[in-house]
């Protein structure tokens, strides 16, 4: 790309490495950044560096936070005895947005996937087991409804059940507003198997 | 968004201000940046700052460059007597990618738009007129085929023609591979008007 100056080409290249940013978007972003007021670019750069430097795992639930213990784990308004297990911090955010769950979370940072060589030791399972030695009423497994998510849910439930702790799994079925016609067979079957008596 | 740490929320907010980055993309990018090796984040930040600090307008063609005169304007392989006028550096890049045009460019950094209050004095027209005092054979106007682009082309051609310099406009019509059925009426009409005898 020698039709841009080296600095612009470099910036386009760097931006193009980010997920979901294709060649065209990288180009548009680069030109936008070059035309931004200098202080704004400095602010964006320092925000990136700050976040990267200061964000770490919460000592309790392993979510990303800038404190030792995240606001949810340190809140006395949350029921610390109900733990929802999620794959990553974005899934945690998805449930937090609803604002209806008053328990706490445990972020695995991944799911078991023999295909990708990710075993139980590669996700934050040890940390979950440690938490369960405390006073816990229920573990709600909210891993994704994918092959890996299901395998992880299965594995965790087998691990926890013998300890006598209640384990549940979020429901799987037809999404609200979903048109049966366009829903895949596995989901339809899952919805049938999971039917609730009225 | 208090379900993330302040640092993450800030980063998501900053990224979400960039063009074409929605809330979901900003979130994904933020988490990606937080999980990137620290040196890579530092590199990305410094590339952004470098580009912003060092990139300026080429003294001749006004494109963005990190030298006083851009590589195209300072190349002796390019015909400095043929100037293609484009709206912005991305349009220049689009023609450069083809690699078939051996003249030079002039970047206007915008187009005349009475609607948006952009007049001839707000784009790099003065700089073009200055260049035309030198030895120029032809000016090819390659502004966009939009209302603003057409108005700009018209304005420039009226300005240059009296000076006795050849002025041309890139062709407008049905794009190659385009299906007539799906092409707008204005383009169809333009293609008809611009028909070439075989």
Q: Which residues pair with B107 in a beta bridge?
A: B86
Q: What is the dihedral of CA A99, A104, A108, A110, to 10 degrees?
A: -10
String of DSSP letters for A46-57:
HHHHHHHHH-EE
Cβ-Cβ contacts under 8 Å for A101 (sequence gap 6 or more): A84, A95
Give the dihedral sign, CA B22/B27/B28/B30.
Answer: positive
* Residue A181 in domain: yes
Q: What is the mean pLDDT of chain A?
A: 89
- The pLDDT of residue A3 is 63
* Residue B175 in domain: yes
- The pLDDT of residue B198 is 67
Mind telling me how many Å the CA of B63 is from chain A's nearest CA?
9
Q: What is the pLDDT of residues B128-173, one digit of tens each?
A: 999 999 999 999 999 988 889 989 999 999 999 888 899 998 888 8
For residue A4, the 8-state DSSP code is S
Is the CB of A112 inside 8 Å of chain B's CB atoms? Answer: no
Total domains, chain A: 1
Q: Are A18 and B29 inside 8 Å of each other by CB?
A: yes
- The pLDDT of residue B21 is 92
pTM of the model: 0.70
String of DSSP letters for A68-99:
SS-TTTT-TTSEEEEEEEESSHHHHHHHHHHT
Q: Are A67 and B7 inside 8 Å of each other by CB?
A: no
* Residue B85 in domain: yes
Residue in this structure with the two tokens 């002039």, named with its chain if needed: B106
Collect all residues of chain A within an 8 Å Cβ-Cβ radius of residue B66.
Answer: 5-8
pLDDT of A118 > 60? The answer is: yes
Strands A64-65 and A56-57: antiparallel
Task: Measure the CA–CA gap between A112 and A129, rounded to whole angstroms.
Answer: 16
| Residue with more model confidence, B155 or A179 | B155
CATH of the domain at B122: 3.40.1360.10
Mind telling me how many Å the CA of B111 is from chain A's nearest CA?
17
Q: What is the pLDDT of residues A102-116, one digit of tens each?
A: 999 999 999 999 889
Domain that residue A104 falls in: 75-198
Segments of B29-122 assigned E as strands = 56-57, 64-65, 79-86, 103-107
- The pLDDT of residue A172 is 81
pLDDT of A137 > 50? The answer is: yes
Task: Measure the CA–CA gap between B102 and B78, rounded to whole angstroms.
Answer: 5
Please identify every stretch of chain B with a pLDDT value under 50, giving residue numbers as ranges.
Answer: 1
- The pLDDT of residue B113 is 92
Size of interface A-B (CB pairs under 8 A): 153
Work out the number of other CB atoms within 10 angstroms of the CB of residue B76: 5
Range 32-51 of A in CB contact (< 8 A) with B: 32-34, 36, 38, 41-51
* Residue B7 in domain: no
Q: What is the ipTM of this complex?
A: 0.71
What percent of chain A lies above the pLDDT cut of 70? 97
Helix residue ranges per DSSP H, chain A: 6-16, 23-35, 38-54, 89-98, 125-132, 147-160, 185-193
* Residue B12 in domain: no
Q: Which residues pair with A79 in a beta bridge?
A: A103
Task: Measure the CA–CA gap between A154 and A157, rounded to whole angstroms.
Answer: 5
Collect all residues of chain A within an 8 Å Cβ-Cβ radius of residue B92.
Answer: 3
| Among the ranges given (A2-11, A64-73, A118-127, B22-31), the one the predictor scored with the smallest mean pLDDT | A2-11
Average pLDDT over every residue of A160-177: 85
* Residue B23 in domain: no
* Residue B99 in domain: yes
* Residue A156 in domain: yes
Task: Measure the CA–CA gap between A137 and A83, rounded to whole angstroms.
Answer: 8
Average pLDDT over every residue of A80-84: 94
């Amino acid at each position: 790309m020698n039709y841009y100056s080296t600095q612009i080409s470099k910036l386009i290249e760097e931006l193009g490495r980010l997920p979901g940013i294709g060649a065209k978007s990288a180009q548009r972003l680069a030109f936008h950044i070059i035309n931004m007021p200098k202080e704004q670019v400095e602010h964006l750069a320092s925000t990136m560096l700050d976040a990267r430097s200061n964000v770490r795992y919460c000592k309790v639930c392993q979510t990303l936070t800038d404190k030792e213990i995240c606001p949810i784990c340190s809140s006395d308004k949350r029921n610390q005895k109900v733990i929802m297990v999620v794959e990553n911090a974005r899934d945690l955010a998805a449930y937090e947005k609803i604002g209806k769950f008053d328990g706490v979370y445990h972020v695995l940072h991944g799911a078991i996937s023999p295909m990708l060589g990710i075993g139980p030791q590669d996700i934050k399972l040890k940390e979950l087991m440690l938490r369960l030695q405390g006073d816990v009423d229920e573990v709600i497994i909210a891993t994704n409804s994918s092959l890996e998510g299901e395998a992880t849910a299965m594995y965790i439930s087998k691990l926890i059940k013998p300890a006598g702790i209640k384990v549940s799994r979020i429901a799987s079925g037809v999404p609200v507003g979903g048109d049966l016609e366009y829903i895949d067979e596995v989901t339809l079957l899952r919805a049938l198997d999971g039917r609730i008596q009225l």
